[in-house]
Amino acid sequence: MQTDGRSGISLIAELADREARKADHLDARPAFDKTDAFHKHLEAGRARGEAARLLDALPATLVGSPDTEVVPGIEGEAQVPIPRITMVDTLAVPDVISVDASEQRAMGAHRAGVLSAALDTAKSARASNSIEKMLCHQLAAVHHAGMEMLVRVQQPMFSIPYVELVRLTNAAARLFDVFQAGCLTLQKLKTGGKQHVVVQYQQVNVSEGGQAVVAGKVARDSRTRGKRRRSA
């Protein structure tokens, strides 16, 4: 077992890959004679079978979900590192995953000094999943950083060098460009990348009494119907 908290299944995957590459190498190598061709074919088949066996050698217990991560469970190991215990426990209970992720996002926003703004942005944008929430937190952080740049620009004249003033202004402008691009990305996420354009045609008819009547929609085949009436 590895000391970094992993189960050691990576070693099995490495052996499976080695056997598969060995089989491919044997198939690609020209045979010296008929005897070598026969043994080469047998050895390649054995290596390919061993690779398949190793790939199917999954642990008896798997923890997690394809929607998150799937890892080998803990099966009576003598000394299990704390990182591995924490990882398996987190993946074993889906609710723990969402709570832990929310705590991490909130802590990151707090350390960036934008917790309230991040939460307000996510609420205003009606963020419905983790990706939208993280993007809202990033938008709040970028906006805050840009505003802080502008505060430094507004210092009394000659208190900072002109070159520094230009640098701060450009940095703020780039941050706001990033903010606006993030807003467009958020819009695409929430609409599925689709844009709906509604084009409404209006026709104004004036009756004999001088009163205008506005038709909100005009049928596309109105000309066709007119032609039909004239032909009749």
Which tens digits make up the pLDDT trace of 46-82? 999 999 988 887 777 788 877 778 888 887 766 777 7
Q: Is the pLDDT of residue 216 over 90?
A: no
Average pLDDT, the chain: 82
**Residue, of 6 and 227, whose pLDDT is higher:** 6
Question: Which pLDDT does position 1 carry in this prediction?
Answer: 45
Task: Label residue 84 by pLDDT band (50, 70, 90).
Answer: confident
Between CA 8 and CA 229 the distance in angstroms is: 82
Between CA 141 and CA 117 the distance in angstroms is: 8
**pTM given for the model:** 0.59
Q: Is the pLDDT of residue 221 over 70?
A: no
- Render the burial of 58-85: b for 16+ CB within 10 Å, e for the rest: eeeeebbeeeeeebbebeeeeeeeeebe
